[in-house]
């Protein structure tokens, strides 16, 4: 089961449609029990901005996500704020920064691992000042993203004004956390991955906007493929464990 987490974002239907174009039948939910039943999880970006993080906090979904995705190794795709949430959780629970958060939601932070882009500082009239439209990114050849795209450079559509805070790059340097895609000048983090996870990808852009009925987006396509592989391995483990369990119960097999 594919679960798309519903926490009040504006582009929910676009993400849902992108998954459907890959042959998936997603369940849109904000229930913890659905996350626990899921085999793969999508954490989309938002159109409601601050309300999205507030809703996530009230729903206590981030803690469940950590258990289901990082510990159980379920395939994960984080989009825009979804990527930023992944950075926040990793900073808190792997890097030890308990108060890590995003400057978008809390201005008085000791560790704003997500912060305003430099050219957004002091902008009072927000309007169309966000990073909008298609931008180029360079991919790490050892990443799952590179395997999906099959290219060193990509163009993807953006809609945001908050970014991975480069001040904290050092903190992640000796961890499995990978900066899988960056802007051509290396200044902006576009894609994050966890290298010791089968498929954990977070992107700052919106891949759902480029999925088409006859051409699924590479990230959604490979996300679904990773989910299929996860299910096959899970079923193999269940099958292998069944004879042992029945022997313990004293049941004789033919």
Residue 98 within any structural domain of the chain: yes
Domain that holds residue 165: 2-116+131-248
Establish if 253 belongs to a structural domain.
no
Residue 44 belongs to domain with CATH number: 3.40.50.880
Which residues are tagged catalytic? 80, 206, 208
Neighbours of 104 (CB within 10 A): 19
- Tens digits of residue pLDDT in 60-79: 667 777 888 888 889 999 88
> What pTM value is reported for the model?
0.82
For residue 249, is pLDDT > 70?
A: no
Residue 62 in any domain: the answer is yes
Does the residue 123 lie in any domain? no
* Higher pLDDT, residue 179 or 252: 179
Whether 3 and 74 have beta carbons less than 8 Å apart is answered as no
Please tell me whether residue 136 adopts helix, strand or coil conformation. Answer: strand
The answer to whether residue 254 is domain-embedded is no
pLDDT of residue 109: 82
Range 41-68 average pLDDT: 66
Q: Is residue 125 part of a domain?
A: no
Q: Is residue 51 part of a domain?
A: yes
Q: 61-65, 81-85, 216-220 — which one is most confidently predicted on average?
A: 216-220
Return the pLDDT at 42: 77
- What integer best gives the mean pLDDT of the chain? 79
Angle among Cα 80, 86, 52 to the nearest 5 degrees reads 55
> Tens of pLDDT along 158-179?
876 788 999 999 888 888 999 9
Residue 167 · residue 43 · CB < 8 Å: no
Domains contained in the chain, number: 1
By the 10 Å C-beta count (0-12 exposed, 13-18 middle, 19+ buried), 47 is classed as: middle
For residue range 118-149, list pLDDT tens digits in order.
544 444 444 455 566 788 999 999 999 999 99
């Amino acid at each position: 089961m594919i679960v798309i987490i519903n926490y009040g974002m504006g582009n929910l239907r676009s993400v849902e449609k992108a998954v459907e174009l890959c042959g998936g039948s997603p369940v849109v939910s904000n229930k913890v029990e659905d996350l626990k039943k899921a085999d793969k999880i999508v954490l989309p970006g938002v159109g409601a901005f601050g309300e999205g993080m507030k809703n996530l906090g009230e729903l206590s979904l981030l803690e469940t996500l950590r258990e289901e995705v990082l510990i159980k190794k379920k395939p994960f795709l984080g989009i825009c704020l979804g990527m930023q949430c992944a950075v926040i959780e990793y900073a808190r629970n792997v890097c030890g920064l308990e108060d890590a958060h995003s400057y978008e939601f809390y201005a008085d932070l000791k560790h704003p691992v997500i912060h305003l882009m430099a050219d957004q500082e002091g902008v009072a009239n927000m309007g169309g000042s966000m990073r909008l439209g298609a931008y180029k990114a360079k991919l790490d050849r050892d990443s799952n993203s590179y395997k999906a795209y099959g290219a060193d450079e990509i163009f993807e559509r953006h809609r945001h004004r908050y970014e991975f805070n480069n001040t904290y790059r050092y903190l992640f340097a000796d961890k499995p956390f990978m900066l899988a895609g960056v802007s051509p000048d290396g200044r902006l983090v576009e894609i994050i991955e966890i290298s010791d996870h089968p498929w954990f990808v977070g992107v700052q852009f919106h891949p759902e906007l480029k999925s088409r009925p006859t051409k699924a987006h590479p990230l959604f396509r490979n996300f679904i493929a990773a989910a299929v592989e996860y299910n096959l391995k899970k079923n193999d483990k269940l099958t292998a464990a069944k004879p042992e369990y029945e022997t313990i119960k004293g049941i004789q097999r033919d």
